[in-house]
Every structure is written in C-alpha cells, then in structure tokens.
Structure 1
Amino acid sequence: MSGPQGTPMDVAALEAIDVHTHVQASVLDDPAAGGGGDGFAAMADYFKAGEVTRYTVPMLADYYRRRRMAAVVFCVDTMHVSGREPHPSSEEIAEQAARHADVLIPFASVDPHRGAAGVRAARRLIEEHGVRGFKFHPTSQGFFPDDRLAYPLYEVIAEHGLTALFHTGQTGAGAGTPGGGGLRLKYSNPMRVDDVAADFPDLQIILAHPSFPWQDEALAVAMHKPKVYIDLSGWSPKYFPPQLVRYANTLLKDKVLFGSDFPMITPERWLADFAKLEIKEEVRPKILKENAARLLGLT
C-alpha cells in the first residue's frame, strides 16, 4: 500500500490487519547506540527470532505499508515492576501514528499502579492524542486484571467505547532468565478477565495470544462474554492447540483476530504457517481483517 503520510486508512485495500505489534524504539534514539538490553535479547532468543531490529513508529509504518497491511502499535508501561518509564512513550506513539494513519492504529499503555494519575493520563491519551485502545500486560505489570485498582482505568476506556487488550498465558518477557526475571505467570490467566467483562459489559476486550496453559479458559470467556475477542499473536500457527483452531473455524469465527507480536514474529512467518491450517476459506478473511476492522470501528 502506498500513499502520502497522514492519509486516511483505506480498509478495502488492505490485505490484513495485525492487531498486536510492539514499538521498541523512539524516533529520538541514536541509531548507532543499539540497545534493548539483555531482556530484549533473551526475548528474541525465546522466539528463536535471531537478530531483531528495534522498530520506531515510522519504521513500522513503512514495513506494514509495503505489505498492504495495517497494524495496531503500542508499548507496555511496566513502571511498577521495572522502575522504568515506557520507551517510547504512548504520547510519542500516538503522535507518530497519526502521521501514518493510512496503516497504523495507536494503542496506549498505562500501568494500573499509577492510580489517579494514570487515570488522568489515560483520559488525556484518548481525548488529546487519539489513542484507540489500551494494552495491559498483567505479568509484566504485576497485577491481576480483576484487581479493583485497575477498574478506574477500565471505566475511562469503556466510557470512550475503546478496546482493552490483555496479555494472557505464558510470556516471552523474562523467559529463560534467572527466576523468569521475577515475573509471575499467575497474573495472566484469562479467567481473571472474566470479572472485568462482567463488570464492564460495554468494554471491548481482546485476550492476546493462545493462552497456554489456559487455552480452554480463554475460549470459555470469549464464548460467554459477547465483547471478548481472542488474538492469535505470539505463536506460530503451526503450534496452535487443536481446540483453538476448531473454535476459530466455527463458534468463534467472528471473534478471532490476526496478530503477529512483531517484531519477534514477522507477519510473513505467521501468515505462511496460517496458510497451512485447516481454516475454512470463508473464515480466513474474517480472521485476517474483517473481525478487526469491525471491532476497531474501521468500517
């Protein structure tokens, strides 16, 4: 897909919408400095991704534009656990994504432990920066999704009709490092999102990833709660659990979304393996684009 920066998105011209990509560099960074640290290298090793480039928002826009795809872009605010401010900031991601609105959809991230200040930041990000949703990573942020400390954030997101995307299941963050980097997998059981869906019935929710080892829980929540979706990022489709493929092909065909987890998994790698799955031809376009376009209000 080609076109001037800042032009509106032409959904009909897109091949796919990737609902799960990470921005891992700022436009203000010194390209010669490298970076990412040991955690970034460990994650690349976990995904068997080899040498991985840290992408800025404009780099992501160029990458997806050349592939005639759109992408949801975000960082993760892990201030409570890591002690570090997100880099780049959600403000930078939103401002840069607005210049590439033909292919990028900005999500933000606010650590629930920020309390009232975080709620104010979320409102600003929506009303002044135009973000379209929020990414939560319970394991990296150290909270259960149904902890009431996060409820004021959900209220703001639901009030504006936006989407909350929750990491679920195993994670590459901390994998293979001593003690898993101190990160606790228990926080990312998708069943902990069920209370959120019940208490905020108008909140659009995405359960990110095949939710190992809680795949059945994720399927149950998505089946039971009308506004809960599942994205397929973070795994090569050749490793998808059989029950996930079965539900994606049938009962959840309108609620399953293409996501890669780029840059750790490229859309090319994901799509090549997805092409080999026994997915009905009429379901493929739903998963690759149509479900996301409807959920995100693009059509």
Structure 2
Amino acid sequence: MIIDAWGQHPTVRHSHDPIFESLRRWTKRRPSKEQLPVSATIDVMDQGGVDVMLTSAWVAPRNVMISNDEVSGFVDEAKGRLVGVGSVDISRPMDAIREVRRCVNELGFKAIRVLPWLWEVPPTDRRFYPVFAACVEEGVPFCTQIGHTGPLMPSEVGRPIYLDQVALDFPELTIVAGHIGYPWTEEAIAVATKHENVYIDTSAYTARRYPPELVEYMQRHGRSKVLFGTNYQMIEAAHALKDLDQWELEDEVKALFLGGNAKRVFKL
C-alpha cells in the first residue's frame, strides 16, 4: 500500500496564487484556468501506484487558497482515495481551536497543517500553541514544513530545530515535518531521533534527490520515522518514485516508508 503523506487537490485560487510563481519556473507548468476535476488527481495517483493521498487545505494570512470545506468536498467525491488535512488561521486563536475541532469531528479530517513560511514566523510563535493544544485534544497530528522555501519567502522559520522546543512543550503532540528539511536535513534527523512523536516526510523531493543521510536514517534507526510524500501537484507520484530502487531499501523499510508509517501515524 502506498500512502502519499502530503498532497493537495488544487483550487484555481491556489494554482494561480502569485506566491507560487517561483515554483512555476522549476516545473515549467502553467496552471489551468479551470478547476481540476477530482478524477484527474485520482488518475495521477493510479499512475504512481498511490492508494491514498492526504490532501490539504491552505490557509494563509488574509487568504484562503483551499478551504477546509472544499477539501471535504474533494474527499467525499474521491470515495476513500483522498484523506482530508485541515488548516486554520493562527491569527485568531479561539476561531482556530474551534476550526480544528470542526475539521476532526465534523469533516473527519486526520491532521491539521499550518506552514510557518506563510505566516513568516517559526512554529514556536505563541499563535501556534492553541493549535498544538487542540491537535493533542483531538488526537490528530500537526503537519508542517521544514527546510528552505521554494516560494520567495523567508526560509529561517523552517529550521527543524524549532520543532525541538515544540516537542518539549507538547510531548503528546504528533508532528509530521514535510519537505525533508534541506539544507538542515541532519538537524531534522536529530529532532526526529530525539522525540518519539516527530516524523519526517519526503514531499517536494523525488527519490533521486533524497539526501544520503536521510536514506541512511531510514535504513537504520529511523525506519519507523520517515513517510513518503509528493507535494502533488508540484511532483507526481510516478516521477517521485521513479528512482527509488537506486537506494536498495530492504523490503520492510520500503513498506514502512511507502505506507506503513503513514497508516500508523495518521490512524488510517
């Protein structure tokens, strides 16, 4: 079973947001002016052998690129192939708490994602803490981004070491840190090794570009700590996995990486 831990079925608002213009230089892909059908995303998943993709809402300051209700609609239409990940406005703490609860209890989402670079503050900022508490109360992981940013936004807020303090303050919180953490991958591995409930996902990177130190971690004491992800639409699963065999992963390690760890972490 292959589970993609980080994707998003895009809205036109998300695809066309100017903040992603730098990414479009890399992908050479111009966004469609029409809403992408859910069936198109399922087709791409099928081509890559992906059984389930966690698909995320995108809430930025004064800008909702993909709403939680839109994600809920995509999930309903996909009939079990997509799993919802909510997002919230951290500038309104009580509303954020209520929205976390609604995402989990009414919409059936399995995680909450907030991206520090969108808010230009690290995850140790006080505005994140009510969200962490709500995630603990509702029993869902908090997902975030680590490493440099493709969009032309500050990367410093994505330093993995910030999650060390978060994990110390919230030892019951499960944290899934996406995008490998480059150029601070060893820092990410150190935090994940130190804290039982901190994980890394490989979204936004193809297997060919996985840092060797991350692969070594997967093959040894980190075999239960790394999750496969794509950051679809940026990268499609078939392309992300094309060169996975170059790393000669053991069968057990490969199974955990591709789906077993995500199934356990997100309680799928």
Give the superposition deviation at 1:113.
Answer: 1.7
Gaps of 5+ in 1: 1-14, 175-182
> How many angstroms does 1:55 deviate by?
4.1
- How far did 1:135 drift? 1.0
Q: Are 1:109 and 2:115 counterparts?
A: no
Deviations 1:211-243 (A, max 9, x none): 112111110111011111110111122222221
Match of 1:78 among 60, 64, 81: 60
Alignment correspondent of 2:135? 157
Residues 135 and 280 from structure 1, CA distance in 2 versus in 1: closer, same or farther, beyond 3 angstroms?
same
Partner of 1:36: 16
Q: Give the CA deviation at 1:143.
A: 1.9
CA distance in 1 between partners of 2:170 and 2:79 (Å): 29
Shift of 1:57: 4.5
Q: Quote the residue 1:146 is aligned against.
A: 124
CA distance in 2, matches of 1:194, 1:37: 32
Correspondence 1:264-279 to 2 at 5 A: 264-279=234-249
Aligned mate of 2:197, from 217, 223, 227:
227
Runs of 4 or more consecutive aligned structure 1 residues displaced over 6 Å after TM superposition: none
Alpha-carbon spacing, 1:57–1:123, altered in 2? closer, same or farther (3 Å): farther
Shift of 1:62: 4.5
Q: In the superposition, relative to structure 1, how do residues 269 and 52 fare at CA in structure 2: closer, same or farther (>3 Å)?
A: farther
1:286 is aligned, of 253, 256, 265, to 256
TM-score (norm 1): 0.82
CA contact (8 A) 1:208 1:231 kept: yes
Separation in 2, partners of 1:57, 1:224: 39
Contact 2:230 2:237 (8 Å CA) reproduced: yes
Q: TM-score, normalised by structure 2?
A: 0.91
Q: Tell me whether 235-244 or 36-45 shows the greater mean CA deviation.
A: 36-45
1:210 — aligned with what? 180
Identity of aligned residues (%): 27
Q: Following TM superposition, by how much is the alpha carbon of 1:287 offset from its aligned partner in structure 2, in angstroms?
A: 0.4
- Mapped pair 1:243 → 2:213: yes
Matched AA of 2:241: L
* Contact 2:51 2:81 survives alignment (8 Å): yes
Q: Is the 8 A contact 2:201 2:229 kept in 1?
A: yes
Question: Partners in 2 of 1:224 and 1:125 — Cα distance?
Answer: 30
User: SS at the partner of 2:91?
Assistant: helix
Contact 1:20 1:72 in 2 (8 A): yes
What's the offset of the Cα at 1:52? 5.2
Structure 2: where are the runs of 5+ without partners?
none
Q: How many residues align?
A: 265
Secondary structure at the residue paired with 2:243? helix
Counting only pairs closer than 5 Å after superposition, residues 255-270 of structure 1 correspond to structure 2 as: 255-270=225-240
